[in-house]
A and B are shown apart, each in its own frame.
Chain A
């Protein structure tokens, strides 16, 4: 069975179609790149999978079920914005994650925070935006989830931080889990992708194995993307 399945999924905002009849399957144990230009529906699709939006029509199934408590137990989601209560201290956030997620590994999170020299007694609002994003990434990757959904994890960060983020993702996701990475910065992540999904104007325009696509087009994913989405 597929981990995630979208059947005829549509989403409209004020009568404007943002996602148009999406049919999609996300298999288990793969790293998938959800690739598309800004504003093409990547985040909307991710929010629908995470129960943050209600579909206009169609359905999203996770392990054969509509988004529910069970799906939330197995999905670890990194949104594109900071969702932490800024008045809280890091150790309080660790306790919160430990309280709610059975699969949260607090020790792993503390070790990753130590690598960053981040004091767990510091308050979120005293941290830089970059540090807040790293903290969120650590929280998300410290869960033994079946599906990690990372929305624009590389957006607006310097190349050194990009390397840190990619290393953290690759060395911390649970074996056998799937990872969906949404981005438009393809050259940085293409080496880690097993599968790619191209999304354009709310439509899935291509789904393929990354290796097969490279072989078929005799070009890198980045080049294919540029060709495909040329303005």
Chain B
């Protein structure tokens, strides 16, 4: 049943996202193709327009990723379509898990498309050498390999976005329970949850700084050492992972207590 729920959730979320993926990739390729031609004033103008459109499409992908996932949740759980969702022979756990997996999959593909587009537009011999050199510098200063540096960076950003999405969903659940889904309050609650969790993260990192002088130097002297960055990034991954599980279980529990569909 989870597979079937996931199929319909993914279909719904990907409908506009696929269009933006194609447009972003198309304009990225066009931008790159124009840049490879001999430059004239007209081509420079077209190049600027195309790269502008590519950036707009990339922003659209991110906005649509959030909006589609949240809209799907509201429509399926609390609006007219809830009459079908809640009468399907599926547990609420599976319904919620399907939404979370949809968010993870769509976020992953959106990341891949965004990185691919940026690579198509900006990656050439010079920029590759520059990127490689700066990555090597960072890796050496952090005492790790380039690949592990990239993996840690990507995981941190990925978890940050996923936490934001799931905080939004928790906001919708609490918002619905407390104010019958007045959307402004639900958004405020979701944002509030995200902010509170971010503040707790800072406090946890500060407390860790009491035991680690490298981390404390960030708070005391604003001195960002490579050891501090490494520790903070690894702690960040752990904290975000814990948050995501907490938000997941709280949302699941609240949803399992029952819904009141308008």
Which A positions have Cβ atoms within 8 angstroms of B?
A: 47, 50-54, 69-70, 72-73, 75, 77, 79, 81-85, 87, 96, 99-101
- Is the CB–CB distance between A50 and B257 below 8 Å? no
- Is the CB–CB distance between A50 and B91 below 8 Å? no
Count A/B pairs, Cβ under 8 Å: 58
| Contact of B81 with A by CB under 8 A | yes
B89: contacting residue among A69, A85, A87, CB under 8 A: A69
10 smallest CB-CB distances across A and B, nearest first, come from A54-B258, A83-B83, A72-B89, A79-B83, A83-B84, A52-B261, A73-B89, A99-B4, A69-B89, A100-B88
Chain A residues touching B, majority SS = loop
- Is the CB–CB distance between A54 and B83 below 8 Å? no
- Is the CB–CB distance between A85 and B87 below 8 Å? no
A-contact bits for B235-262, CB 8 A (1 contact / 0 none):
0000000000000000000000111110
The residue in chain A whose Cβ has the minimal distance to the Cβ of B260 is A53
| Contact of B45 with A by CB under 8 A | no
B87: contacting residue among A51, A70, A84, A99, CB under 8 A: A51
Assembly CA distance A82 to B7 (angstroms): 22
Chain A residue contacts of B81, Cβ below 8 A:
83-85
- Given known A52-B82, A85-B12, contact A100–B261 (CB-CB < 8 A): no
Assembly CA distance A162 to B261 (angstroms): 28
- Is the CB–CB distance between B90 and A100 below 8 Å? yes
B residues 1-57 touching A (CB-CB < 8 Å): 1, 4, 7-8, 12, 15
Chain B residue contacts of A81, Cβ below 8 A:
80, 83
- Is the CB–CB distance between A96 and B8 below 8 Å? yes
Chain A residue contacts of B1, Cβ below 8 A:
100
B4: contacting residue among A75, A79, A85, A100, CB under 8 A: A100
- Is the CB–CB distance between B84 and A84 below 8 Å? yes
Assembly CA distance A79 to B261 (angstroms): 12
Q: List 23 A-B contacts (CB under 8 A).
A: A50-B86, A51-B87, A52-B82, A52-B87, A53-B259, A53-B261, A54-B257, A54-B258, A54-B260, A69-B91, A70-B89, A77-B83, A81-B80, A83-B81, A83-B82, A83-B83, A85-B81, A87-B15, A96-B8, A99-B7, A100-B4, A100-B90, A101-B88
* A92 smallest CB distance to B (angstroms): 9
Assembly CA distance A85 to B90 (angstroms): 18
* B13 smallest CB distance to A (angstroms): 12
Assembly CA distance A99 to B82 (angstroms): 17
Assembly CA distance A219 to B47 (angstroms): 83
Chain A residue contacts of B83, Cβ below 8 A:
52, 77, 79, 81, 83
* B184 smallest CB distance to A (angstroms): 19
* B215 smallest CB distance to A (angstroms): 46
- Given known A72-B87, A85-B81, contact A47–B12 (CB-CB < 8 A): no
* B251 smallest CB distance to A (angstroms): 16
Assembly CA distance A82 to B4 (angstroms): 22
The residue in chain B whose Cβ has the minimal distance to the Cβ of A84 is B84
* A117 smallest CB distance to B (angstroms): 25
Chain B residue contacts of A83, Cβ below 8 A:
80-84
B258: contacting residue among A51, A72, A77, CB under 8 A: A51
Chain A residue contacts of B88, Cβ below 8 A:
72, 100-101
* B83 smallest CB distance to A (angstroms): 4
* B171 smallest CB distance to A (angstroms): 20
The residue in chain B whose Cβ has the minimal distance to the Cβ of A54 is B258
Chain A residue contacts of B90, Cβ below 8 A:
69, 72, 100
